[in-house]
Amino acid sequence: MSDLEQQDLKNKKVIVRVDLNVPLDDDDNVTDTTRIVACKETVDLILEKGGICILISHLGRPKGKENKFSLKKIIDTVSSVLGRKVFFYEDCIGQGAQEAISKLDKGSIILLENLRFYEEETSGDRVFAKNLSKLGDIYVNDAFGSCHREHASTFVIAEYFENKKFPGMLLKKELDAINQIANYGKKPVLAILGGAKVSSKLGILYNLIKNVDKIIIGGGMAYTFIKAKRGKIGNSLLENELITNAQEILSLAQALDKKIILPIDTIASKDYDNNDQILTFNSKEIEDGWIGLDIGKKSIEMFNQEILSSNTIFWNGPMGVYEKDLFSEGTRSICNSLREAKEKGANVIVGGGDSIAALKKLGKEDWVGYISTGGGALLESLEGKILPGVKALMK
Ligand code: AMP
């Protein structure tokens, strides 16, 4: 892929597909600006090089032109985060949009209306994509979180920009982080996977086991693996139909001389909601009627040692039901160990909605080496797939 930083952008109209799908409260205030902040580097680069920045994005899942999902609502926040005036136009294609753009001087930014006001966006319609392409001279994709979709603005549009299409700075950082985990990160490379379900992370496990040196499996998903090793897991979360897969992954790890590290002790309760009684069990000997809801002290210590002896670490998914204080200690400890590892020079990459939410809830996020903005896009990349939006930039 060619490099946007090497391009002459002076007076060039640069279409930038960004992901401004930000959360709004009932009064239309933006409650988290992460995605706006994430596109600033690309915008700054284009403007410094004397280009005109045409931002296109989706917001929510509108059915046709629904005012509720207008990007106009976020224009002030976008301006304030980018630290510059941002113009707005009420459509994302057509003569009106083209005229609004043609009036802009170099160094200007314009945000166009929600792409998903046209169902042709999500259906990947070629005519719509071609109309979008008429807005500018150069196409930049900086919407990593949407790159797994074959939509008009993330995929089809690229074919109209032969030799004039580039990944944005955010997309480059995301791809580099994925490569650090799955390809060329400094060894030992450790992946820590947690959360509720094995099913959502099966593809990642099969792919990462080939590339990383060790995988810690915590959270609810650990119990299917413990069961696969003939452990007694009481009433803990179990995906029975995946026991065979779990066994296969464990055998694969053994054959490849990779380590899979499971919790050795478990904090359990008799009920998800009523937590009057809490006991610690050996993770392989949980009594019937008890549900494992967090990792115990011995596991924390063991995971801590694995983290501190790794140079590249990827974390996705909590170690327990971290939303409840009673079961948040495992996840909190992982955060602390990761921070210590980072201070000692390890590259720490965090991705996936719940790990970021956990980091924020536990008040520790500013130190992380890289926090991915992608949900599905990150998971699919870690499964070893080249995302459509990325492939389209390569052709
Ligand atoms: P995921 O979306 O798969 O990353 O899962 C995140 C969810 O997993 C969080 O809501 C946690 O409460 C939940 N979780 C983590 N550990 C457990 C556990 N031992 N039992 C049940 N749910 C868990």
Summarised one tens digit per residue, pLDDT across range 359-371 is 877 776 777 878 8
240 burial type by CB count under 10 A (0-12 exposed, 13-18 middle, 19+ buried): exposed
Q: Hey, whose CA ends up nearest to atom 11 of ligand 1?
A: 321
Query: What's the pLDDT score for residue 364?
Result: 64
Is the CB of 237 inside a 6 Å radius of any atom of ligand 1? yes
Query: What's the pLDDT score for residue 395?
Result: 74
Pick the CATH number of 174-381 from 3.40.50.1260, 1.20.1730.10, 3.40.50.880, 2.60.40.10: 3.40.50.1260
**pLDDT for 375 beyond 90:** no
Torsion of CA 68, 36, 334, 363, to 10 degrees: -80
**Which tens digits make up the pLDDT trace of 36-57?**
999 999 999 999 999 999 999 9
Contact 128, 121 (CB under 8 A): yes
Query: What's the pLDDT score for residue 11?
Result: 95
Q: Domain limits of the chain? A: 4-167, 174-381
Query: What's the pLDDT score for residue 224?
Result: 98
**pLDDT for 2 beyond 80:** no
Catalytic residue positions, numbered:
35, 197, 353, 376
pTM for the structure as a whole: 0.90
Q: Hey, whose CA ends up nearest to atom 21 of ligand 1?
A: 220
Q: Which two tokens stand for residue 99?
A: 């005229």
Other beta carbons less than 10 A from residue 395's beta carbon = 8
Task: Tell me, yes or no, if the two domains 4-167 and 174-381 fold the same way.
Answer: yes
**What average pLDDT does the chain have?**
94
The one-letter code for the residue type at 116 is: R
Element (H, E) at 284: none
Going by pLDDT thresholds of 50, 70 and 90, the confidence category of residue 279 is very high
**Which tens digits make up the pLDDT trace of 72-104?**
999 999 999 999 999 999 999 999 999 999 999
CA of 194 to the centre of ligand 1 (A): 7
CA of 299 to the centre of ligand 1 (A): 17
CA distance 248 to 251: 5
From 354, 356, 372, the mutation candidate for ligand 1 (largest count of ligand atoms within 8 A of CB) is 354
**pLDDT for 22 beyond 80:** yes
Going by pLDDT thresholds of 50, 70 and 90, the confidence category of residue 352 is confident
Give CA separation, 222 vs 7, 182, 261, in Å: 48, 22, 9
Tell me if residue 115 falls in helix, strand or coil. helix
Mean pLDDT value of segment 139-144: 97
From 321, 333, 350, 355, the mutation candidate for ligand 1 (largest count of ligand atoms within 8 A of CB) is 321
Rounded to the nearest 5°, which phi and psi values hold at 117? -70, -15
CA distance 238 to 199: 11
Q: Hey, whose CA ends up nearest to atom 15 of ligand 1?
A: 320
| Topology (CATH) of 4-167 | Rossmann fold (3.40.50)
Q: From the centroid of its chain, how far is CA 32?
A: 15
CA of 318 to the centre of ligand 1 (A): 6
Is the CB of 142 inside a 6 Å radius of any atom of ligand 1? no
| CB crowding 77-113: b at 16 or more within 10 Å, else e | bbbebbebebbbbebbbeeebbebbeeeebebbbbbb
Q: Hey, whose CA ends up nearest to atom 20 of ligand 1?
A: 220
**Which tens digits make up the pLDDT trace of 237-266?**
999 999 999 999 999 999 999 999 999 999
**pLDDT for 205 beyond 80:** yes
CA distance 108 to 99: 14
Element (H, E) at 109: strand 109-112
Say which residue the tokens 């001087």 belong to.
Answer: 105
CA distance 188 to 256: 15
Query: What's the pLDDT score for residue 369?
Result: 79
What is the rounded end-to-end Cα distance, in angstroms, of the chain? 9
Among the residue ranges 70-79, 193-202, 216-225, the one predicted with the least confidence is 193-202
CA of 323 to the centre of ligand 1 (A): 9
Mean pLDDT value of segment 197-224: 95
Among the residue ranges 282-286, 288-292, 333-337, the one predicted with the least confidence is 333-337
Query: What's the pLDDT score for residue 353?
Result: 65
